Structure 1
Amino acid sequence: MKRLIQKGLMFGNLIEVSSPALVSRYNRALKHLTGKTTALSDFHIDISGYSPEVGDELGDHLYLNPNGVNRQFILLTTEQKTAPHLNAKFSTSRALLRRFIEVNEPQLFALTAHDAVVGELDNSVFELSTPERLFDIRKITVHADTTREHVASAEKLAGLITRFREEEDAWWDDVLIAQMIGLAKETGDVTRNPIRLNDVSTEQGNFWTDHFGGLYVFRDVEHPAAIAVADKARLGKLPLRYVFDLGDRNQIAHFLELNDLVEPIVKARNVDASAILRQKMDFILVDAAATLGHDLGGANRQDLRKLAQRLGAALPEEFKALGDLARWAEGGGDWPRISSQHPAYFYTLRAAPGPDRDIVNQLLAELSPLDVRQLFICHKQLFYRTYAGWSDAKKGFVADFLEREYQVDKAGARAELFGPEPGMEEPKAPQDDIVARVGPWGAVRRGR
């Protein structure tokens, strides 16, 4: 992993904590939340305040996320909003934390000048003993305060001020006045500079979770389903009629199509489909070459073309099918029929525009793991696990490519591959129709 770290492909954009004042605030917050402290004099934190170095020191990388639910967080600076979210257990966590910081940025900027802000992503579920418990999570709300409870004290002071103004004999209430003076020393003048953090909430309808081997839950679509990364039989009974795993390629393909969650790359607007497909072919070729022990040192596009010629019949089926599709996109070939059972099928798709774009692209990355660029962008946790098992030649090629082609313009690369960022509009409510009643994977069929 050292190669990835050196190239900024792992633990990139983390916030450095090195000043004694910030370390002291972090320790005060850590003690407040967990009862523990760190002896480190410098470390790095993500958007939630989690530090991989502190996790190593404590021997617990879930020290801010006990049981993997109700994520706690520590904010030392509003700059954390641009940091990644490491060890995420739910796909919704980072966006929610970032929105909380942006909504309360002026207040957080003032509060973090003197103290750390601590809080929790509260979903009212405290343990996930069974997969069925995931469906009890509906609304997640961010609650926060400083370690010295400035926000709570300010709310209490505001209430006392109201009493003082409205109660007829308040001028002679020495206890009330003493309480106001004591709280004002902590909070300042809340009448002129009110201290208040707005709670931010989200409805967790469609989401991915790392629990139970990985699970994609789509319950706020027209035809709901869950898709397990591991064997679906291990999940037991779920409150959804349809549950698939990654081996159910036909059913997953039909689910994605019925809910209008994907579009063919060759039909997407304003993209160079041929260039995207040929880049996917390069990644597939690199995997095949590395598996067969070919040298990939410093390989460029011309070297890969020669390598493809040498491999000949040993070329993977994914490579051949994408080549046919690329030739069609360039106007020089016939339309290739690629069914959902073909290993290349999910390489030909991308998520349709909409609020579920990122989670769908993450699912497609699971279904087309040889496209290492999409895997890195859309599912970093799986990328890092997969990377650890690659040959050194493949590690070197992929790390060099990502540094050269992705790091220099992340936003541009994402826009080219996946389209504009999804909007914030609420998803449409599911509709009742004949397909929903009969069953989208039963009697009713729809041509591809």
Structure 2
Amino acid sequence: MDRLIEKGLMFGNLIRVDSPVLVDRYNRALNHLCGRKTEQKVFHIDISGYSPEIGDEFGDDLYLNHKGVNRQFILLTTEQATAPLLNAKFSTSRGILRQFIDENRAELFALTARDAVAGELVNSVYLADSPAKLFDIRKITIEADTTSGTVAAAAKLGEMIDRFKTAPDGWYDDVLIADMIGMAKKTGDVVRNPVSLRQMSFAQENFWTAHFGGIYIFRGVDHPAAIVAGAKEDVGDLPIPFTFDFQDRSAIAKFLTLNDLVEPIIKARGIDAAAILHQKMDFIVASVAADMKADLTGATRQDMRRLGRQYADQLPQEWQGLAALLRWAEEDGPWPTITSEHPAYFYTLRAKAFPDAELVNRLLAELTPLDIRQLFICHKEAFYAAYAQWPDAKRAYVVDFLDREYQVDKAGTRHALFGHEASMTELPRVAQPDLITRVGPWGAISRERR
């Protein structure tokens, strides 16, 4: 993984903590949350305050995420909003933390000027010991305060001020006045400068979880289903109408189509579909060439064409299907028949514009592992796991490509590939009622046809 770290493709954009004052604040918050302290004097933190150096020190990568379902966080600065979330167990966690910081930026800036803010993404599930338990997660609420309890104290002072103003004998209550003065020394003037954080809750209808090998849960769609990365038999019965695994390609394709979640790349507006197809084909060629121990150092588009010709008889069906689609797009060739069972099918799709587009693109990335760029952008956990198994030649090529083609313009690349994705990251703030269980769409379609 050294290549990834060196190029900023792993542990990139973390916030460096090297000030004794900030280290002390972090330790107070860490002790407040989990009764521990670090001996590190310099370390890096992600958006939640998790530090890989401290994780190594403790021998516990989940020291701020007990059992993987109770994500705690430590904020030392509002700059953490741009940092990644490491060891993510739920796809929604980073978005929730980002929204919390963005909507409370002024308040958090004031609070973190004097202390660390510690908190938790609270849900009713403390232990996900079975896949079915994950479905009990319906809403995430954020609870946060400084380690000295500034926000709670400010709320209490506000109540005292109200009592002082409204109670008939408030002006003569010496004890109340003394308490107010003492509290104000701690919180400052809460009348002119209110110290409060917005109460925020987020509905959890559609999300991915790393638990049990990876599960995609889609409840907030017309036809709910769960899609598991492993074997569906291993997760048992789930409280949702349908459960698929990655072997159920036709069922997943039908699920995505019936819920109007995807669109063909070749028909999407505002993107250069041919260029995207060319690049996907190059990634497949690179994978084959790496397996054949070809030298991919500094490989260009011309090199990929040469290697494609050299190993033409070994290029898989994924490449053949994309090549047929490209001939239709660029050379007026016949429209190719690429069914959902064809290995190239999911390579031809992208998420439509809707609030959970990132989740769908994450699913498509896992269904198209040879597209290393989409895998890196949309599903870093799967990318790092795959990277560890690749031959060294492919690792070198992928790192070089991502460094040259993606790192220089991340936003531009994401817009070119997904178009609408950047504006789709805000999570729903109001919990939606459960969808009424209804007759499954697959049965309904067969009756319609009959």
Give the TM-score, by structure 1 length: 0.96
Aligned-partner Cα distance in 1 for 2:391–2:435: 49
CA distance in 2, matches of 1:73, 1:438: 41
In structure 1, how many angstroms separate the alpha carbons of the residues matched to 2:160 and 2:444? 66
Q: Which residue of 2 aligns with 1:143?
A: 143
Distance 2:258 2:311 in 1: 38
* 1:241 CA drift (Å): 1.3
Matched, 1:107 2:123: no
Q: Is the CA contact 1:354–1:422 (under 8 Å) kept in the aligned structure 2?
A: no
For residue 313 of structure 2, give the secondary structure of its aligned residue in structure 1.
helix
SS at match of 1:32: helix
> Aligned partners of 1:88, 1:373: CA distance in 2, in Å?
20
Q: CA deviation at 1:354?
A: 0.8
Which one is further off, 303-312 or 22-31? 303-312
Report the counterpart of residue 440 of structure 1 in structure 2.
441
Instruction: State the Cα deviation string for residues 318-340 of structure 1 (Å, max 9, x = none).
Output: 11111111111113311110111
Please tell me the root mean square deviation across aligned C-alpha atoms, in Å. 1.8
Find the counterpart in structure 1 of residue 42 from structure 2: 42
Give the corresponding residue for 2:4. 4
**Could you tell me how far 1:176 is from its partner in structure 2?**
2.0
2:236 pairs with 1:236? yes
Q: Does structure 1 retain, via aligned residues, the 8 Å contact 2:214–2:230?
A: yes
Shift of 1:437: 4.7
| Aligned partner letter, 2:287 | D
Matched with 1:297 is 297
Stretch deviating more after TM superposition (328-337 or 247-256): 328-337
Cα distance, 1:23 vs. partner?
0.7
Q: Where does the alignment leave 5 or more consecutive residues of structure 1 unmatched?
A: none
State the distance in 2 between where 1:22 and 1:422 align: 33
Q: Deviations over 1:385-413 (max 9, x none)?
A: 11011111100100000000000110010
Rounded to whole Å, the distance in 2 between the matches of 1:429 and 1:157 is: 36
Tell me if the contact between 1:96 and 1:200 (Cα under 8 Å) persists in the aligned partners.
Answer: no
Following superposition, the deviation at residue 246 of structure 1 comes to 0.7
Give the corresponding residue for 2:359: 359
User: Is 1:405 paired with 2:390?
Assistant: no
- Match for residue 316 of structure 1? 316
Equivalent residue letter for 1:70: N
Distance 1:251 1:422, change over 3 A: farther
Give the corresponding residue for 1:13.
13
* 1:251 counterpart SS class: helix
Offset of residue 11 of structure 1: 0.8
Check the 8 A contact 1:222/1:430 in 2, yes or no.
Answer: no
Distance change >3 Å, CA 93–CA 336, structure 1 → 2:
same
- Deviation for aligned residue 1:281: 0.4
Unaligned runs of 5+ in 2: none
Stretches (4+) displaced over 6 A: 427-432
For 2:150 and 2:445, the matched residues in 1 are separated by 59
Report the secondary structure of 2:39's partner residue: coil
The correspondence of residues 251-400 of structure 1 with structure 2, limited to 5 A, is 251-400=251-400
| 1:123 to partner: Cα distance | 1.3
Aligned residue identity for 1:146: T
Letter in 1 for 2:23: V
Aligned mates of 1:431, 1:186 — CA distance in 2:
47
**TM-fit CA distance, 1:422:** 4.0
Q: Which moved more, 1:293-302 or 1:411-420?
A: 293-302
Task: Provide the rounded CA distance (Å) in 2 between the counterparts of 1:61 and 1:39.
Answer: 16
Conserved 8 A contact 1:274-1:326: yes
Residues 181-213 of structure 1: per-residue CA shift (max 9 Å, x gap): 221111112122111111222111011011111
Question: Which stretch of the first structure deviates more once superposed, 231-240 or 396-405?
Answer: 231-240
> C-alpha distance in 1, partners of 2:129/2:77?
35
CA distance in 1, matches of 2:356, 2:169: 58
The AA in structure 1 aligned to 2:441 is P
Alignment of 1:186-265 (within 5 A): 186-265=186-265
Q: Aligned residue for 1:167?
A: 167
Secondary structure of the corresponding residue to residue 304 of structure 1: helix
TM-fit CA distance, 1:178: 2.4
Give the conservation status (yes or no) of the 8 Å contact 1:222–1:429.
Answer: no
More moved, 271-280 vs 293-302:
293-302
Q: CA deviation at 1:430?
A: 8.7
Deviations 1:200-227 (A, max 9, x none): 2211101101111100000110100000
- Distance in 1 separating the partners of 2:295 and 2:369: 22
1:261 aligned partner, one-letter code: L
| Counterpart secondary structure, 2:67 | helix
TM-score, scaled relative to structure 2 = 0.95
Counterpart Cα distance in 2 of 1:296 and 1:192: 63
Whole-Å separation in 2 of the counterparts to 1:101 and 1:28 = 20
Matches of 2:232 and 2:65 in 1, distance apart?
26
2:356 counterpart letter in structure 1: D
Q: In the alignment, which residue of structure 2 is the partner of 1:118?
A: 118
Deviations 1:71-116 (A, max 9, x none): 1000000011111111111111111111111111111000000000
| Percent of pairs with identical residues | 62
Identify which range, 219-228 or 326-335, moves more after superposition: 326-335
Q: Who is 2:62 aligned against?
A: 62
8 Å Cα contact 2:219-2:435 kept in structure 1: no
Higher mean C-alpha displacement, 411-420 vs 328-337: 328-337
Name the residue aligned to 1:152. Answer: 152
CA deviations over 1:23-69 (Å, ceiling 9, x no partner) = 11101111111111111111111110011111011110100000111
Task: Give me the whole-angstrom Cα distance separating, in 1, the residues matched to 2:168 and 2:300.
Answer: 83
